[in-house]
Structure 1
């Protein structure tokens, strides 16, 4: 992670903002964004976002604002990595993990102000699986089923209710799968990967801190029976994941890269990337890339 300074007097008086008009909260966000005269708003669907951002990069635009959830930010980041165009985040999702991790305000007006007034630019780390980028987390196994079920339930209920119902259904159908991690066979219902080391304590479970080590944090769940699973959940709720990670139920490791394969005739599987599902060809080749993406952050702050 590297912190740079970008001269504010080099910024134009108006900056482009990209938002998916078909996203669930887009219309409410657009109503507020249109009040900001300093924004050049582009309503762009995901299939056209790449071309729109490449046009800004080619034009030498110093900053672009991207409004959306973590999945939308990752889609934008795939085009911005390795360029001099800086991404300013306008959080528009449900959980907004990326904004929280980097201390970026999630209130819209404050985030827009930050995009225009902060000279601090942080080169943040990202993860890849094959050629697909992720900014926060990826997972293989049970969470993929959870997301697919949640998306079905979201058609008739709120995000939170859909998540709860999908979670219970996932617990009832939890089963391990035979996977190969760096050629070693394991049986696991879930493998989680996070960009940078994750806090496993009860108070900060899953968070990224300024002292987090620079690596992919891999957590392999080895519990497959209902009895051991519920025992582990009880311990996580009351003790945090750190003591559980030291037991035989979870394999926790920090790596620069890792290979995951299912060794079946099925050559592609669904993988969750920042809460979105994507079909990936096996083996899944994960890698950690430091200082890959330039992001506007509050002055004197790092990952929190």
Structure 2
């Protein structure tokens, strides 16, 4: 029995290791090719560079107007992530604590919204805000839309987590004279740290990597985000691949740091948020 269990463990380990290598290879190739010249990249993207061309990062930094693009991405990502996470947690608290018919209907609407792809509502949004209201090239509009798009999924995870929080805590706070708002922000919300970190990482990754929404509403260079500016290396007749790889590394670096910082909360948050409910 022990030998069979050990062999199963080894097989699972090998499979997980192969999957890890499979997912790491693209990141490795991007970093590898960021130190090569574009002709070397075209000739053989899997070869190691003879000389490390660090000037690709300087070229990418200047071509992408990195500081301005980074500022736009950070502004949209931080505000949209913070607001959507707070609103989602408040939504979930009401939906789980108040057993009204309308809360059940609202919860089902949120669940349905999770399965609607953005491409379905993309054209109406552009028609309304672009052609109708003339709000293109406005990063605040993009932030506002991101907030709305990133409320259903966090609300779903928060709902499952809050279900496992004893209602007696709310009752004790009510007896002590605390308002529902103070009960939530002072007692309940601090208990949601694992699922909050999970939602922050997922929402931030989604917003930071967004290309479709930003490309439909932002066309001026001054308001473009980092994912949009990575296309600055492409022209109708040529492509400067090596600096583009360097630009991709610079674009990925902030979210990789965020993911490494919050990864220990992700599994705990997902399991608690999806199973308890």
TM range (shorter): under 0.3
User: As a proportion of its length, which structure holds more strand?
Assistant: 1
> RCO greater where, 1 or 2, for CA within 8 Å and sep 6 or more?
2
User: As a proportion of its length, which structure holds more helix?
Assistant: 2
- What TM-score, normalized by structure 1, do the two folds share? 0.22
Max Rg structure: 2
- What TM-score, normalized by structure 2, do the two folds share? 0.23
